[in-house]
C-alpha cells in the first residue's frame, strides 16, 4: 500500500522509516554511486527534518519498494542550496512560500502492468494532492533527463527551468510541476486513482492494535484504495527485484 509518513505519525512507522533509509542507501549510494552521507547502512541528509514528509510504497511483505520525499522550500531547498547555478535568471523565486520540493524519488518494484504503473502514479500524485490542499501551487525538483519521458507520461504538468547540465552520473535538469485542481484531477482520472491515493494513519489517534491492523481498518473504510494495493507475482510474492539495475524500469530513481 502507499503510505504518507510525517513527523506526526512517524512513531507508528519506526521500522518502515529505517527500511526507507536503507533502500535509499542501496539505490542512490550502492547503485547510482552518489557521494552521500551514510550511517548504520542508511542514507540521510539535511532535508530529513521535521518539515519533510515521505510517500512510501510497501510490498505485500512490508518491504519499502518506492518512496518520494517532499518539503516546503520557504527556509531552504536542495535546488537552491546545491543547484542554484542551473537556474536561469528571472524565474519565479523557489522560496516564495507557495512551493514544495520533491527529492529522493525511487522505485524498486518491477512490472509495467497498469497496476504497477498506477501505484507509481499514486506515489507521484500524493504530494500534489497535499500541496493543493495546503494552498501550494507549484512543486520543483532536479532530475536526470532520462526521467522526463516517464514524468510526462504519468501525468505531471511539467515545465523545465533552464537547460540540462551534467551532474556526475548523467545530465539533469531543474523542473517545476503545475499544482492546480484541474492538473491533479486530470492525473487522477488518467490512472483511475481515488482522491487521496494513499493511507494516512492519524498520528493523534491511539492504535487499537498494531499498524497493520490499523491500516486494514482504514482500507475497509475506504475500499477504493484496493486499486493501489501491492501486486503479486505468479508465485504470490512481491514484485521486488533483488538487483537494482532493473529498479528503474519505469521510475528510474533519478530524482535527486
Q: Are 28 and 106 in contact (CB under 8 A)?
A: yes
Position 219 scores a pLDDT of: 85
Of 118, 2, 22, nearest in space to 68 by CA: 2
Q: Which helix (H) or strand (E) holds 70?
A: strand 64-72
- Banded pLDDT at 256 (limits 50, 70, 90): low
Q: Which residues pair with 142 in a beta bridge?
A: 174
- Banded pLDDT at 227 (limits 50, 70, 90): confident
**Where is average pLDDT lowest: 45-49, 51-55, 113-117?**
113-117
pLDDT tens for each residue of 10-51: 999 999 999 999 999 999 999 888 889 999 999 999 999 999
Position 237 scores a pLDDT of: 43
Per DSSP (E only), the strands in 112-204 are 138-144, 158-160, 165-166, 171-178
- Find which of 149-153, 166-170, 219-223 is predicted with most confidence, using mean pLDDT: 149-153
Structural domains of the chain ordered from first start: 2-246 (3.40.630.30)
Give the mean pLDDT of 159-181.
Answer: 92
Of 127, 115, 129, 124, nearest in space to 155 by CA: 124
What pTM did the predictor assign?
A: 0.87
Q: Which helix (H) or strand (E) holds 102?
A: strand 99-107
Residue 254 has pLDDT above 80, yes or no: no
Position 161 scores a pLDDT of: 95
Q: Which helix (H) or strand (E) holds 160?
A: strand 158-160
Show the cell assigned to 36.
552521500
Measured at the alpha carbon of residue 131, what is the angle toward residues 34 and 213, in degrees to the nearest 5? 80
pLDDT tens for each residue of 129-141: 999 999 999 999 9
Distance CA 126, CA 132 (A): 10
pLDDT tens for each residue of 66-103: 999 999 999 999 999 999 999 999 999 999 999 999 99
Give the mean pLDDT of 3-9.
Answer: 95
Give the mean pLDDT of 56-75.
Answer: 94
Position of cell 514544495? Answer: 100
Position 209 scores a pLDDT of: 72
- Find which of 126-140, 143-157, 203-217 is predicted with most confidence, using mean pLDDT: 126-140
Collapsing DSSP to helix, strand or coil, 168 comes out as coil
Amino acid at each position: 500500500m502507499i503510505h504518507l509518513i510525517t513527523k506526526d505519525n512517524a512513531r507508528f512507522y519506526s521500522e518502515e522509516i529505517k527500511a526507507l533509509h536503507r533502500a535509499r542507501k542501496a539505490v542512490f549510494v550502492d547503485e547510482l554511486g552518489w557521494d552521500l552521507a551514510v550511517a548504520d547502512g542508511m542514507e540521510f541528509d539535511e532535508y530529513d527534518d521535521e518539515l519533510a514528509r515521505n510517500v512510501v510504497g510497501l510490498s505485500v511483505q512490508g518491504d519499502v519498494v518506492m518512496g518520494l520525499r517532499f518539503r516546503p522550500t520557504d527556509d531552504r531547498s536542495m535546488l537552491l542550496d546545491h543547484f542554484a547555478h542551473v537556474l536561469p535568471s528571472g524565474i519565479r523565486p523557489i522560496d516564495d512560500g507557495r512551493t514544495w520540493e520533491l527529492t529522493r524519488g525511487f522505485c524498486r518494484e518491477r512490472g509495467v502492468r497498469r497496476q504497477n504503473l498506477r501505484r507509481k502514479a499514486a506515489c507521484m500524485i500524493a504530494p500534489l494532492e497535499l500541496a493543493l490542499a495546503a494552498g501550494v501551487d507549484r512543486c520543483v525538483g532536479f532530475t536526470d533527463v532520462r526521467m522526463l519521458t516517464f514524468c510526462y507520461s504519468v501525468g505531471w504538468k511539467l515545465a523545465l527551468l533552464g537547460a540540462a547540465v551534467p551532474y556526475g552520473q548523467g545530465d539533469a535538469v531543474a523542473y517545476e510541476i503545475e499544482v492546480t485542481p484541474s492538473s491533479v484531477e486530470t492525473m487522477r482520472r488518467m490512472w483511475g486513482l481515488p482522491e487521496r491515493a494513499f493511507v494516512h494513519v492519524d498520528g493523534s489517534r491511539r492504535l487499537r492494535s498494531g499498524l497493520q491492523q490499523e491500516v486494514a481498518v482504514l482500507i475497509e473504510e475506504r475500499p477504493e484504495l484496493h486499486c493501489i494495493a501491492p501486486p503479486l507475482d505468479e508465485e504470490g510474492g512481491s514484485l521486488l527485484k533483488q538487483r537494482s539495475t532493473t529498479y528503474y524500469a519505469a521510475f528510474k530513481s533519478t530524482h535527486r
